[in-house]
C-alpha cells in the first residue's frame, strides 16, 4: 500500500514537471549528423555584430550560412597544414573590434574565419590569374560606371599603378567568390542536410 502511494506521488510529480517543462533550445538544421540549434544562430548573430560584419536577420539565410560554414570546416580538415596562430587571431580582433570583451566563442569564430580564408587562398586564389584584358574590362564596365553613379567626376586612370592593383584585386576577389560558390554548391548536393522548419 505504501509503495503504491509513493508511486502515485512520484507519477504526479513527474506529470507536474512535464507540464511545466519549457523548450530551452531547438534544432534548426542537421548537416552530416552535426546539429545546429537556435542558440547557434543567436551566437553567430552576436559574433557578427561584435566583429562589425553585416547582420543576417533572416533565420533561413543564417541557417544556410552556418550549414555552409560547417561544410567548409569539414573540407579544411583535409588540409592539415592550415594553422592559425594566436597572433593572427589577436590581430584580427584588434582590426575588427573596439573596446569589447573577447569571449572564447568569439576567438573560436575568428580562428575559423581565418582558417577558411587560408583554405580558400590555398585551394582557389593562387590559381586565379586575371589577364590585362579582364582587368581593363572590369575597370571600364564595372568600376568606372559605379564611380560615376556615386557622383565622382574624376576617376583615376587604370594606368595608375595603385588603381591597377586595386582593380586586379577586385577581379581576383570576384573570381574567388564565384569559384567558392560553385565548389560549395557541389558539396551541398552530395551532403546530407536537413533544415528543420
Q: Which three cell numbers stand for residue 45?
A: 548573430
With a CB cutoff of 8 Å and minimum separation 6, the contacts of 38 are 25, 26, 28
Identify the helix (H) or strand (E) that includes residue 29. Answer: strand 27-31
Sign of CA dihedral 86, 89, 94, 99: negative
Residues paired with 27 in a beta bridge:
37
pLDDT digits (tens, 9 = 90+) for 100-132: 566 888 889 999 999 999 999 999 999 999 999
Measuring CA to CA, which residue among 194, 56, 172, 74 is closest to residue 124?
Answer: 172
Measuring CA to CA, which residue among 128, 118, 29 is closest to residue 76?
Answer: 118
pLDDT digits (tens, 9 = 90+) for 126-148: 999 999 999 999 999 999 999 88
Q: Could you give the CA distance from residue 101 to residue 137 in angstroms, rounded to a whole number? A: 45
Measuring CA to CA, which residue among 6, 26, 29, 4 is closest to residue 195?
Answer: 29
pLDDT mean across residues, the chain: 86
Q: Could you give the CA distance from residue 191 to residue 35 in angstroms, rounded to a whole number? A: 14
pTM of this structure: 0.76
Amino acid at each position: 500500500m505504501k509503495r503504491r502511494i509513493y508511486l502515485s506521488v512520484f507519477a504526479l510529480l513527474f506529470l507536474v514537471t512535464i507540464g511545466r517543462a519549457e523548450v530551452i533550445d531547438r534544432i534548426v538544421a542537421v548537416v552530416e549528423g552535426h546539429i545546429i540549434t537556435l542558440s547557434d544562430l543567436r551566437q553567430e548573430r552576436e559574433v557578427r555584430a561584435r566583429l562589425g560584419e553585416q547582420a543576417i536577420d533572416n533565420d533561413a539565410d543564417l541557417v544556410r550560412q552556418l550549414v555552409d560554414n560547417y561544410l567548409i570546416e569539414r573540407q579544411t580538415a583535409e588540409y592539415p597544414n592550415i594553422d592559425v596562430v594566436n597572433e593572427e587571431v589577436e590581430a584580427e580582433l584588434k582590426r575588427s573590434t573596439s573596446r569589447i570583451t573577447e569571449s572564447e566563442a568569439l576567438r573560436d569564430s575568428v580562428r575559423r574565419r581565418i582558417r577558411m580564408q587560408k583554405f580558400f587562398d590555398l585551394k582557389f586564389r593562387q590559381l586565379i590569374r586575371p589577364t590585362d584584358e579582364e582587368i581593363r574590362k572590369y575597370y571600364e564596365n564595372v568600376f568606372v560606371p559605379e564611380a560615376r553613379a556615386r557622383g565622382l567626376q574624376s576617376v583615376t586612370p587604370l594606368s595608375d599603378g595603385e588603381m591597377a592593383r586595386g582593380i586586379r584585386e577586385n577581379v581576383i576577389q570576384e573570381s574567388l567568390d564565384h569559384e567558392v560558390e560553385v565548389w560549395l554548391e557541389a558539396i551541398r548536393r552530395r551532403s546530407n542536410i536537413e533544415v528543420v522548419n
